[in-house]
Amino acid sequence: MHRWSQLFIPTLREAPADAEVASHKFLVRAGFIRQLATGIYSYLFLGQRSFNKIIGIVREEMDKIGQEFYLPALHPRELWESSGRWSVMGDTMFRLKDRKGADLCLGMTEEEVMTEIARKELRSYKQLPQIWYQIQSKFRDEARPKSGLLRVRQFLMKDSYSFDIDAAGLDVSYQKHHDAYCRIFDRCGLKYVVVEAHSGAMGGSQSHEFMVRTAAGEDQVVSCEKCNYAANMDKATSKLVPVEDLAATGDGNPLEVHTPGQKTIEDVARFLGVSPKNKIKTLALMVDEKDSKTGKVVPRPVVVLLRGDHQLNEAKLSSAVGGKETRPMQAEEIERLFWSPAGFLGPIGIEWARDVRQVERPILLVDNALEGRTNLISGANKEDYHLKNVTPGRDFQPTAYADLRSVTAGESCPNCSAPLRIDTAVEIGHIFKLGYKYSESMGARVLDRNGKEVTPIMGSYGIGIERILTAAIEQSNDENGFWLPPPIAPFEIVVTPTNVGDEKVKSVAEDIAQQLDAAGFEVLLDDRDERPGVKFKDADLVGIPYRVTVGKKVTEGTVEVVRRSTREMHDASIGAITGYFQQVLRPAR
Ligand SMILES: [Zn+2]
């Protein structure tokens, strides 16, 4: 049993000035954490108790499917060079030099370390499958750390890696993780949704994210309430209502129209009396590519066409151009490359690459929603002019069609056509079929049944330990503080004597706390000599799900039980208290 008077629980009335989200405000106010530097936090007593309980649950469930390791956080450069990620990670990676001048980095993920072990140690299919996991600090030099523990530079992660002889084996390891993650998040009391995720350009084939819907999140989840479709914004698709194409005018070929002073999609559409859905939106971007002959990095123009009312999804575009990042083209670049004023760029009259490998020409990517459309309106590559009767495939040849747009709320579910909803969410876990990327690039090989050397196939799987706590707080808070699900709360019950100067009140509170403690509950006795109001405020603030208030009614043999989430209160006889908590906190399964 713990006594509040002897503990360090520095609660605050005010939240930090820069705190915007509930978890940031309350973790600091409740004395769970303190900031050491931007995006770097110390975990104090209550915070560490919660984290230890979360880690306990994660470990118990992971031990059912894998083996726990503990890997170094300090990695040599050579290791990251061997996978090609030393340069890919850019400024997000913390880098340092040792006294001899050798380059090192702080681990942000550990595919390389795990694959290094597999490469050196695994020799035969008989040793597979393997699932190895660890719970350890990770480091990311975030450009804008914020939101308390939601976006930090040092954080705790459970990361695991699977090695299988073939894709069927990987399916099994992946499903094991999926199921273990569901058990972990269920036990942590979170309401979450499993969404299809973008597997990126890392050669992965399947990926799911575990998301908690909350306004504090920076990710967006698209979901259908009718069927179980759910995907993150970078992966989500929708069924579009067919658009009626315009009738051809003149001889049906592209026809210049004068559109003086009309620059935006909406302006042009209004001026011509058509819907933005009949207009092509043209975006000009640049992607940095390495010239295969000279090895030099050269910018390559990428032009994207979308339906006039659609928005570009950058992650989808990035995977369409081989995982590279794009940047908007400058007006001067547009004029120099296409001889077009920036606001009037269009696809006709430019020689586009026939496929992305044809490097001497610009790439033209056209969103799937424009495939099969006719008589659209596009820019004419000429100041104050647009073109009518523009038909993709007839008047210009795209380098490729691709899914490039972001879904919007209310569009139809791709499976069942019900309207889709979009919510912001926080990612708490991610499972990912890596495929052969690391085992191949780092040269891991095992002998298969026939004595032939094969490359093991890998998966990688992460859980953000801090994310579990922050998501739980975002889900369950009010103006006075938060309440945590008992399995991850720092204590399950706080026993609050209203007046420790009253001998009877004090001794009954002691007795109750002792009894609950002896029965195996995690109890905090608020034995401080403070006014009841102060104690109640603190109890409401720090996330403990139940409070037992010991006050004047002890003379009648009664205390009050308060459930923090609902503020439901009821009197309970002192003798029945332990039995009550057995029932609500340890129900027989
Ligand atoms: Zn649906």
Q: Where are the domains of the chain?
A: 2-236+422-473, 255-402, 491-585
Residues 46, 573 contacting (CB under 8 angstroms): no
Collect all residues with Cβ–Cβ distance below 8 Å to 513 and sequence separation of at least 6: 1, 495, 523, 525
DSSP state of 343: G
Measure 198 CA to ligand 1 centroid, in angstroms: 19
Measure 424 CA to ligand 1 centroid, in angstroms: 19
Measure 229 CA to ligand 1 centroid, in angstroms: 5
Measure 311 CA to ligand 1 centroid, in angstroms: 22
Ligand 1 (single-atom ion) residues, CB below 5 Å: 224, 226-227, 229, 413, 415-416, 418
Give phi and psi for 144, each to the nearest 5: -135, 80
Q: How far apart are CA 58 and CA 82, in angstroms?
A: 31
Q: Single out the residue of 530, 540, 587 nearest to residue 567, CA to CA.
A: 540
**Confidence (pLDDT) at 484:** 98
* CATH class as words, domain 491-585: alpha beta
Measure 419 CA to ligand 1 centroid, in angstroms: 8
Provide the CATH topology of domain 255-402: YbaK protein (3.90.960)
Beta strands (DSSP E) in 66-129 are: 67-68, 74-76, 95-97, 103-106
**Confidence (pLDDT) at 204:** 60
Measure 308 CA to ligand 1 centroid, in angstroms: 26
Residue with tokens 């975990």: 43
Measure 208 CA to ligand 1 centroid, in angstroms: 18
Please, where are the H alpha helices in 419-502? 437-441, 465-475
Strand 558-563 and strand 546-550: the pairing is antiparallel
Measure 240 CA to ligand 1 centroid, in angstroms: 13
Q: Single out the residue of 22, 264, 246 nearest to residue 147, CA to CA.
A: 22
Query: Which ranges of the chain have pLDDT less than 50?
Result: 201-202
Please, where are the H alpha helices in 392-490? 437-441, 465-475
Query: SS in 3 state form for 537-570?
Result: HHHHHEECCEEEEECHHHHHCEEEEEECCCCEEE
Whole-number Cα distances in Å, 159 to 78, 131, 136, 437, 442: 22, 10, 8, 17, 19
Measure 220 CA to ligand 1 centroid, in angstroms: 17
Measure 441 CA to ligand 1 centroid, in angstroms: 39
Measure 74 CA to ligand 1 centroid, in angstroms: 46
**Confidence (pLDDT) at 87:** 87
Measure 219 CA to ligand 1 centroid, in angstroms: 20
Measure 410 CA to ligand 1 centroid, in angstroms: 12
CATH 1.10.150.120 is held by the domain 2-236+422-473: no
Measure 194 CA to ligand 1 centroid, in angstroms: 15
Strand 568-573 and strand 193-196: the pairing is unpaired
State the DSSP H helix or E strand holding residue 173, giving kind and residue range, or none if neither.
Answer: helix 167-187
**Confidence (pLDDT) at 319:** 85
Measure 230 CA to ligand 1 centroid, in angstroms: 9
Partners of 425 in the beta sheet? 213, 219
**Confidence (pLDDT) at 63:** 98
Measure 487 CA to ligand 1 centroid, in angstroms: 33
